[in-house]
Chain A
Amino acid sequence: GENVEQHPSTLSVQEGDSAVIKCTYSDSASNYFPWYKQELGKRPQLIIDIRSNVGEKKDQRIAVTLNKTAKHFSLHITETQPEDSAVYFCAASLIGYGNNRLAFGKGNQVVVIP
């Protein structure tokens, strides 16, 4: 099955700086790559996702890039704010072909230092 790995496990950034989290996946057939944010004591929530037919997607201060050849994708957070402090999970899946399983990475703790 799909195996997703995230690096680094913990990332500390100064407020206002950028944060980048990278994930690699193993199954070249995967075509859907979401990112979830989980604040302390809360449920994970989708913040951005990308399909395999797109190389980059942006939504305000966050963006995701995908390199299918290298089988990795990254989350970019610009102008970080204290409310960006959370655990971020990447995931990969093949959707639309009867495979309904989303494989998550182990998560990255992002700490924004005021």
Chain B
Amino acid sequence: DAGITQSPRHKVTETGTPVTLRCHQTENHRYMYWYRQDPGHGLRLIHYSYGVKDTDKGEVSDGYSVSRSKTEDFLLTLESATSSQTSVYFCAISDRQNTGELFFGEGSRLTVL
């Protein structure tokens, strides 16, 4: 498996609290992504990064921000969590110049009460 880890793997929080999910890779891949997975909606792109300090929005970016200060880390922040952000979040990495394949992390299950 590609060297990609997510933390925390599980988190329960209350509405209105800030939450940060971390994605760490050891593959030195340029591209990193955050997806959320919800029943009936598949995998939806939140934000992605194409280099250090280079990020762009995905299709469901409202309420989320990201940062990438180092090649290996991509942080997803929910400034003020809402119940609609209860989901499973997957980080993915890619060396798109060669294959286009995405390697996913194990996922982070977030519950907002």
Using a CB–CB cutoff of 8 Å, the interface residues on chain A facing chain B are 1, 32, 34, 36, 42-46, 49, 89, 93, 95-96, 100-107
**Inter-chain residue pair count (beta carbon < 8 A):** 51
In the complex, whether B104 has a CB less than 8 A from a CB of chain A is yes
Enumerate 16 A-B pairs (CB-CB under 8 Å) in ascending A order.
A1-B59, A42-B106, A43-B104, A43-B107, A44-B104, A45-B104, A46-B102, A49-B100, A89-B43, A93-B100, A96-B96, A100-B48, A102-B45, A104-B44, A106-B40, A107-B43
Instruction: State which of A43, A101, A102 has its C-beta within 8 Å of the C-beta of B106.
Output: A43
Contacts of A49 in B (CB 8 A): 100-101
Q: By DSSP majority rule, is chain A's interface helix, strand, loop, or mixed?
A: loop
Using A43-B90, A100-B48, A100-B96 as known contacts, say yes or no to A106 and B42 having CB atoms under 8 A apart.
yes
In the complex, whether B41 has a CB less than 8 A from a CB of chain A is yes
Contacts of B97 in A (CB 8 A): 96
Q: How large is the interface on B (under 10, 10 to 19, 20 to 34, 35 or more residues)?
A: 20 to 34
Q: How far is the CB of A66 from chain B (nearest CB, A)?
A: 15
Using a CB–CB cutoff of 8 Å, the interface residues on chain B facing chain A are 31, 33, 35, 40-45, 48, 50, 58-59, 90, 94, 96-97, 100-102, 104-107
Contacts of B42 in A (CB 8 A): 89, 104-107
Complex contact B41–A106 (CB within 8 A): yes
Tell me, in angstroms, the Cα distance from A49 to B102 when the chains sit together. 11
Contacts of A101 in B (CB 8 A): 45, 48, 58
Complex contact B101–A104 (CB within 8 A): no
Complex contact B101–A34 (CB within 8 A): yes
Tell me, in angstroms, the Cα distance from A34 to B101 when the chains sit together. 8
Complex contact A43–B105 (CB within 8 A): yes
Instruction: State which of A46, A96, A100 has its C-beta within 8 Å of the C-beta of B101.
Output: A46
Q: How far is the CB of A75 from chain B (nearest CB, A)?
A: 15
Contacts of A100 in B (CB 8 A): 31, 48, 50, 94, 96
